[in-house]
Amino acid sequence: MIKRTLFFGNPAYLSTRNEQLVVRYPEEDRPEKTVAIEDLGYVVLEDPQITLTNGLLMKLVQNKTAVITCDRQHLPCSFLQPLVGHTEQTERMRHQLNASLPLKKQLWQQTVMAKIENQARHLLARQKRALKLRRWAREVKSGDAENHEAIAAAYYFQHLFDLEGFSRNQKGLPPNNLLNYGYAILRAVTARALCSSGLLPSVGIFHRNKYNAFCLADDIMEPYRPYVDALVYEIVETGCAIEELNKNLKAELLRIPAMDVVIDGKQSPLMNAMSRTTNSLYECFLGSSRKLMYPEFE
């Protein structure tokens, strides 16, 4: 089942009644609206004047709904995750924490190979050359000791957008703003799936930063980034204004969880594919598998 994504960009009062999310607005002429909580996958809160009841937060967390808040620049800045995301959470976390360094290096090798291959496929889909990316994907070694991930990313962004002066930089020129927003949504999708699989999003297989609570999410989302890039590319190609993130642009980027991807030869919404990826990660930690399941860009 595809879960819904709700975006709130104006002041609102959010509460719950009869397992429904109830939306009321300050304006008296706007009617009350309700949405079934079980249908929700993501709730994005942007306006600082949004009020939520604790009862609603409790039900959203119990439903494993990702509650995402935004900062003053309107970019997602936090993600509310449950204390208990899976019935076997303690055992699953123990396997994750006991994972050996060689296993982590092999998992990162698979992740980088999948990311570079998907970047190559995306370039080819745009009628751009990708022979170097294909070669680098095959040359990735355990732990990516030669840092092919960074080398490939630099080449990829140099050739993806036909925009003068563009370079991938969080504070750079548009469409960096669209990429930042899209990656933040993708990060929340990944963290939600990791929690649902009973894993700790903060303990990565490659990323290590004591100030980063989502190291593992940053690892696992890597091969999914080209899907965000593809959506941003399509937005840029329309010729619409992208200097500021307006409501229409955000609406397009909030389609990311429901985007169609192909994983294990079958088409699936991205949010469902991510759950298959995080479950395959647990199986690797458990020792019942040695292969991470990632989508293949088409």
Q: Which residues are annotated as a binding site?
A: 149, 207, 222
Interstrand relation of 33-36 and 20-24 (parallel, antiparallel or unpaired): antiparallel
Distance CA 152, CA 134 (A): 10
Distance CA 103, CA 80 (A): 29
Interstrand relation of 12-17 and 20-24 (parallel, antiparallel or unpaired): antiparallel
Q: In one letter, which amino acid is 93? A: M
* Cβ–Cβ under 8 Å, residues 23 and 14: yes
Distance CA 256, CA 239 (A): 20
Distance CA 266, CA 22 (A): 36
Q: Which of 242, 190, 223, 199 is nearest to 76 (CA)?
A: 190
> Which three-class secondary structure state does DSSP give residue 184?
helix
Let me know how long the chain is.
298
Distance CA 44, CA 185 (A): 9
> Which three-class secondary structure state does DSSP give residue 297?
coil
Residue positions in the annotated binding site for Mn(2+)?
A: 149, 207, 222
Angle of CA points 242, 245, 247, to nearest 5°: 115
